[in-house]
Amino acid sequence: MLKILSLREGIVELKDLSEITTAPTWIDITKITPEEAQLLQQKLDLHPLTVKDLSTTRTRIKIEQFPKYLFCVFYSVQKTKALKTLEVDVILAKNLLVTNHVQDIPAIIELHQDHKKLEFLFKKGKGADFLFYHLLDKAVDSFFPVLDGIDGEIETTEQLISKKVSSKVLQRITSLRKKVIYLKKITIALREKISVLTKGDNEFISKKATPYFRDVHNNSIRIFETIENCRESVSTISELYLSTVSNSTNEVMKVLSVIATMALPLTVISSIYGTNFKFLPGSSVSYGFWIMIAIMVSMGGAMLLYFRKRGWF
């Protein structure tokens, strides 16, 4: 579905593709069809590889320079239960911005509903570069709430480990590690590609807009550094989990060792009096059995006190 917004006499209004002029224009496409892709190719003289990328989902982050336009692919993230990434394909030409996406993008929906903001962005630059900056900035900023959520999950997981280790805690750590690694892959590419837009030698980005793209690049560096901190924190809680499991196992083994050590002399006594010899010391005494039990209990209690005094448990 195509939605075309153009600035005419200082007012943003809806346009048809056939009515596109030199006025600053934004073409927003949701779930592009082959017919729409072909129409754009003819109207904007797009390279076949660009058309292919527009029709393909999960394209890698990229910035490609063509004679008549700049083609970019970047991602934003959405704070949901599962980590959700939203792809946006962008074509930036003189006085023209084309955005293509499959899913709804909050920043794009916001601009559709706020024509005053859109007018401001169109008027701020000479073309559509400030509109592109705004969308890219919103995409980069979308990482911060997600990273705050991951940081909160790390703290919660650390508290759970200090209370009790379980398979659920291990699942949480594994899930956190996967999220952080995935975000790191995205932000490494995002940081590198945005740096291309900050050099000031791109004909589709004005010198006035270049400092704003530098600011976006700085934010992408902050995100990468935050993800690195999260990765180190996840590694730390993984080590803490393994250490806690090891300590818990050692405690169990310590208790079992104490029980086995206490049971050994008692087993020897009971084994001796369980033999088939006719005459055994104390066997003819009326209370011989209870005397043996008393000796065994006393021996066990004495060993228990000794182990306790030594601090073995």
For residues 190 and 28, give the distance between their C-alpha atoms in angstroms, rounded to a whole number.
Answer: 22
For residues 138 and 17, give the distance between their C-alpha atoms in angstroms, rounded to a whole number.
Answer: 27
Domain 256-310 -> CATH class: mainly alpha
Strands 2-8 and 11-14: antiparallel
For residues 297 and 309, give the distance between their C-alpha atoms in angstroms, rounded to a whole number.
Answer: 18
pLDDT at position 130: 93
Q: Under CATH, domain 1-141 is a member of which superfamily? A: CorA soluble domain-like (3.30.460.20)
pLDDT at position 280: 67
Strands 96-101 and 11-14: unpaired
pLDDT tens for 163-175 read: 877 888 889 899 9
Report H helices in the chain.
34-44, 48-54, 106-113, 115-124, 129-141, 143-163, 167-196, 210-272, 288-310
> Is the pTM of the predicted complex or chain greater than 0.95?
no
Report the percent of the chain where pLDDT is more than 70: 89
pLDDT tens for 21-75 read: 677 888 999 999 988 899 888 888 899 999 999 998 888 999 999 999 999 999 9
For residues 2 and 295, give the distance between their C-alpha atoms in angstroms, rounded to a whole number.
Answer: 93
pLDDT tens for 248-298 read: 777 778 777 777 777 788 777 777 766 666 666 766 666 777 777 787 788
Report the percent of the chain where pLDDT is more than 90: 41
pLDDT at position 14: 65
Of 236, 83, 255, 251, nearest in space to 161 by CA? 236
CATH 3.30.460.20 intervals, the chain: 1-141
Measured in degrees and rounded to the nearest 5, phi and psi for residue 63 equal: -135, 120
